Structure 1
Amino acid sequence: MKTITSRDNPLYKDLKQLATSSQARRKSGRSLLDGVHLCEVYLQQVGKPAFCVVSEPSMANSEVAAVVQVCEAAHVKCIALAESLYQAISQVEHGVGLMFVVDTPQVSPPSVLKESAILLDGLQDPGNLGSILRSAAAAGVRHVVCSKGTVFSWSPKVLRAGMGAHFALEIAENVDLAPLIQSSKIPVLATSSHANRRLYDVNLAKPVAWLFGHEGQGVSEELLGLATESVSIPHLGPVESLNVAASAAVCLFEQVRQRTAG
């Protein structure tokens, strides 16, 4: 295992760019998975990373050592960083000092919507996107389609919030949602606090595409007009609406409830 101790090392400079720059991640087509859980899930569900990076002190950790052993057996290049160098690129507080460099999947959207999917219109918060991805994976919804302007799905914050859900999903980005909605073979349901029809009154036993919008502005007027219908989530407290990630979880698991009833 090669050990890097200098900030001027070219490979370390590349790692720091991946850790700190969305532009660098998009240009290189690579992403960073930070933490034991994400790395273990990647090995189990996807396979070999491009690189395995560890901090020198973390080699004494049994979980890290086990992951490194698997990587070395698979002939993955493993790199050790001095602790100060590792901490300068890691965004995980009190982490155990393990990350993977992986190739970012390049996914095309479905040509036609035929099975349940999630369509995201301009979502901005990484934590919200990661939570929605996690709910989607748990609910068995495989396709997630993100419009232009939606936060990058493979950013470190989204990856941490997703907790490995990315690897069970097909996530397409920078997609014009309007033609996809217009050609859909299944109902497209938009969430809106102003809709008259309640979520719980809709038949969700068959596939639907869920349309969720920007945290502040909601779904755009254009896409709302193209959706099959809008539905609201009833609530009793004195709040106007739910957080978009909470709304997505409620919708997805109402669909799970209906599909598994009886």
Structure 2
Amino acid sequence: MKTITSRDNAFYKELKQLATSSQARRKAGQSLLDGVHLCQAWLDLKGAPDHCLVSEDALSNPEVRAIVRRCEELHTHVTAFPEALFGAISQVEHGVNIAFLAQTPRPQQPEAITESAVLLDGVQDPGNVGSILRSAGAAGIRQVYCGPGTAFCWSPKVLRAAMGAHFVLDIFENADLPALVRAARVPVLATSGYAAEQLYELDLSAPVAWVLGHEGQGVSQELLDLATHRVAVPHAGQVESLNVAACAAVCFFEQLRQSRR
């Protein structure tokens, strides 16, 4: 284990840049996975990270020691920092100070959608995007296509909200959603609060692609026009509509229920 104590260390400066700049993370093709849960999930599902980062005080935590031990067994670089320095790397308040530096997965995008998938059309809130990823992973959906304007999936807030779902998904950024819908080999269902078709009236026993839209404006008119179905989630009461992440969860798990029926 190496220890860095200087704020002027070049590697430490690089880590601070990655922690605070989405542009830096995109350019480097690297992500910071912050906290015990994300680090454990990466080890279990993806294997060794590029680097394990830990504060000296956190080494007294049994979960942290176990993660560090696994990293050392995998011959991963481990670097410790004083608590004051680690604070500039971590985006988690009152968390356990351990993080991984890892290559951001860049899967090869298929030519056409042939299995269940999620298309995010300008979903801007990182918490919503993370919740949608988490629900998709839990429901057995494996592909997520993010159109322009959608929150960067590998940002710290999205990573925390998704709770490790990233590592069981193929995530495609800056996707051409209209082209994907035109080429799709499965039905495409665009969610809309104004749709005539109701979710529970549809046959979801086979793969489908879900289109979820911007928190305020919803799915774009172009994608609504291209979709096989426009779908509404029925609800009672005076509330106008569901939050996009809640809508996604209802849709995904109705599909899962029908596929297991």
Give the secondary-structure state (helix, strand or coil) at the position aligned to 1:99.
Answer: strand
Q: Look up the equivalent residue of 2:227 and give its one-letter code.
A: A
Matched, 1:123 2:110: no
Give the secondary-structure state (helix, strand or coil) at the position aligned to 1:25.
Answer: helix
- What is the aligned partner in structure 2 of residue 236 from structure 1? 236
**Mind listing any 5+ residue stretches in structure 1 that lack a counterpart?**
none
- What is the aligned partner in structure 1 of residue 2 from structure 2? 2
- What is the aligned partner in structure 1 of residue 57 from structure 2? 57
Matched, 1:101 2:101: yes
- What is the aligned partner in structure 1 of residue 169 from structure 2? 169
TM-score by length of 2: 0.98
Residue 110 of structure 1, CA deviation: 2.4
- What is the aligned partner in structure 1 of residue 182 from structure 2? 182
- What is the aligned partner in structure 2 of residue 211 from structure 1? 211
In structure 2, how many angstroms separate the alpha carbons of the residues matched to 1:24 and 1:88?
A: 15
Residue 109 of structure 1, CA deviation: 2.7
Identity score, percent: 62
Q: Look up the equivalent residue of 2:66 and give its one-letter code.
A: A
Asked if structure 2 preserves the Cα contact closer than 8 Å seen for 1:109 and 1:145, the reply is no
Residue 237 of structure 1, CA deviation: 1.6
Give the number of aligned pairs. Answer: 261
Give the secondary-structure state (helix, strand or coil) at the position aligned to 1:159.
Answer: helix
- What is the aligned partner in structure 2 of residue 150 from structure 1? 150
In structure 1, how many angstroms separate the alpha carbons of the residues matched to 2:76 and 2:229?
A: 49
In structure 2, how many angstroms separate the alpha carbons of the residues matched to 1:91 and 1:195?
A: 40
Instruction: Map 1:22-101; keep pairs closer than 5 Å.
Output: 22-101=22-101
In structure 2, how many angstroms separate the alpha carbons of the residues matched to 1:217 and 1:49?
A: 39
Give the secondary-structure state (helix, strand or coil) at the position aligned to 1:175.
Answer: coil
Which is worse superposed, 102-111 or 29-38?
102-111
- What is the aligned partner in structure 2 of residue 250 from structure 1? 250
CA RMSD of aligned residues (A): 0.8
Q: Look up the equivalent residue of 2:131 and give its one-letter code.
A: S
- What is the aligned partner in structure 2 of residue 197 from structure 1? 197
In structure 2, how many angstroms separate the alpha carbons of the residues matched to 1:226 and 1:197?
A: 16
Asked if structure 2 preserves the Cα contact closer than 8 Å seen for 1:36 and 1:99, the reply is yes
In structure 1, how many angstroms separate the alpha carbons of the residues matched to 2:188 and 2:216?
A: 21
Residue 107 of structure 1, CA deviation: 2.2
In structure 2, how many angstroms separate the alpha carbons of the residues matched to 1:27 and 1:88?
A: 20
TM-score by length of 1: 0.98
Q: Look up the equivalent residue of 2:207 and give its one-letter code.
A: P
In structure 2, how many angstroms separate the alpha carbons of the residues matched to 1:242 and 1:110?
A: 31
Flag as ranges the 4+ runs of structure 1 deviating above 3 A.
none
Asked if structure 2 preserves the Cα contact closer than 8 Å seen for 1:55 and 1:82, the reply is yes
In structure 1, how many angstroms separate the alpha carbons of the residues matched to 2:160 and 2:65?
A: 21
